[in-house]
Structure 1
Amino acid sequence: MEILGVDIGGTGIKGAPVDTATGQLTAERYRLPTPIPATPEAMSATVAQVAEHFNWKGMVGCGFPAAVREGQVLNASNIAKSWLGQNAQKLFAKATGCAVTVANDADAAGYAEMQFGAGRDFNGIVLIITLGTGIGTALFVQGQLVPNLELGHIEINGKEAEKWTAAIVREKKQLSWKKWAGRLDIYLTHMQSYLWPDLIIVGGGVSQKHDKFLPLLTLETRVVPAQMRNEAGIVGAALVAQQAL
């Protein structure tokens, strides 16, 4: 089955058709910048542009940078506050003319890692961290998702964790890998003490350079890089849509 997966991020909205049996993209992914401000109207129009690029008429799955319940947006940290209370599923369906499902973006990426990536065939407690504009978190217990955890917003040393530790912070503040790894180590140590996972998977674009920071971590918990990389959100969004059929 082919489903159009759309990964909606703080800086880019990208999509591609996905073969949900193999996790492979069946066409080259298409990316557009996330509109500023990231309002419901502007983002819906951008999602529609992605669907139009592929002349898509079938099912669409979207990963969205917020907690989502039955299509409704519950928080708005890296998107316009006007999203609060809006039903993203209905807005995207109207804009694209397609059947649409919407899930938290980290949860979607987590599904991809668990089915086709670093969490494949692992049945313990798995915490997946996505590091980018913010910090996304997904927790799987015996293969079952605990949705919408949003643990990037915990407070560490009086600051919201993602505003201190996200990958974009390293870039903006021009932190060395060692200094940024120290911040990440503190954050992951908190996650370890709260959740006691058997495995932590670190994803997001920065995971492509995992050799520069993973060896500097001091956690007892095993930490590995994500394998799906930039395709995780797209593939996972398609997998979430498949579950809704």
Structure 2
Amino acid sequence: MGMRMLGIDIGGSGIKGAPVDVSTGEFARERYRVATPQPSKPDAVVKVLAEVVEHFGWEGPVGVTYPGVVIDGVTLSAANVSKHWIGLDAASLMADATGREITLLNDADAAGVAEMRLGAGRGRPGTVAVLTLGTGIGSALFTDGVLVPNTEFGHIQVNGKDAEIRASAKAREEHGLSWEKWAERLSEYLAHLEALISPSLIILGGGVSKKADRFVPLIEGVRAPIVPARLVNNAGIVGAAMAAAAAHPVEVAEPAPHEVREAGTTVGRQREDGTAEAAR
């Protein structure tokens, strides 16, 4: 049995978590999911976060994802959650609420880390883009396996609008788009993205990647190979757990890869702003 760590993925529609064997990406217990509070203000979301930790009776460090930019534990954007998150020291708030050490990172970065180590991007050199198609479009960018954190490629302007407004999985459902019509929008977006970063591989994740056979073959005008994520919608949880494990190397049998070590910011053990005591 490998090292286990609790990963929690905060999304625009759901907050889900599970203890993860970080060497394999397998869940040690059944995933637990709670609907994201609406409105998704910090106090309400953090209350659910504490509920997930309590559900598993978890005593150790916790990896948590956030659907936006995270720098040094501070959340700096909020496209699909309450604007009250902007500029918030969210990692400290989570540590205070749960009494646990929190490693916080962008949700797509977490999914990307998991896919690059255990999924479709494993061993792939060059520039790899991981895109999560869900409430919005999250993105993670890697160069020779090293993460470039906090890319927000879902907000690239295509035809004067954020790409995710037209091409996210939520947009497909809200506008009743056929797979063919949605693939046209994805093709337009991916071609635009390819012109900017010239990836050698594009990995499409999120829950809709379970139905990749319905839309990936329809995507046209993109040079880079396009493949579905192997970890599907569990990648965020797995990546969050991996980031937390990387922040606690004494507890891990083998050193974490570079892209995992660089992914998150931990509050509790590493911060110097007085929150360490509250995180215990």
TM-score of the pair, normalised by structure 2: 0.86
Matched with 1:230 is 233
Q: Deviations over 1:95-143 (max 9, x none)?
A: 1111101100000000110011000111221100000000000001001
Aligned partner of 1:181: which letter?
A
**Which residue among 162, 165, 168 is the counterpart of 1:166?**
168
Matched with 1:240 is 243
Moved >6 Å (runs of 4+):
none
Aligned partner of 1:205: which letter?
G
Matched with 2:30 is 28
Gaps of 5+ in 1: none
Q: Deviations over 1:135-181 (max 9, x none)?
A: 00000100100000111011110111111110011111110100000
- SS of alignment partner, residue 52 of structure 1: helix
What is the correspondence of 1:42-81 to structure 2 with a 5 Å cutoff?
42-81=44-83
- SS of alignment partner, residue 141 of structure 2: strand
What is the correspondence of 1:170-189 to structure 2 with a 5 Å cutoff?
170-189=172-191
Give the drift of 1:235. Answer: 0.3
**Which residue among 17, 20, 26 is the counterpart of 1:18?**
20
Aligned residues: 245
Aligned partner of 1:226: which letter?
A
- SS of alignment partner, residue 81 of structure 2: coil
Higher Rg of the two aligned structures: 2
**Which residue among 74, 86, 89 is the counterpart of 2:88?**
86
- SS of alignment partner, residue 77 of structure 2: coil
- When structure 1 is superposed on structure 2, of 107-116 and 15-24 the one drifting more is 15-24
Give the drift of 1:243. Answer: 2.0
TM-score of the pair, normalised by structure 1: 0.99
Q: Which whole-Å CA distance do the structure 2 matches of 1:46 and 1:17 have between them?
A: 16
Q: Which whole-Å CA distance do the structure 1 matches of 2:62 and 2:101 have between them?
A: 6
**Which residue among 112, 115, 118 is the counterpart of 1:116?**
118
RMSD: 0.7
Aligned partner of 2:236: which letter?
G
Give the drift of 1:244. Answer: 1.7
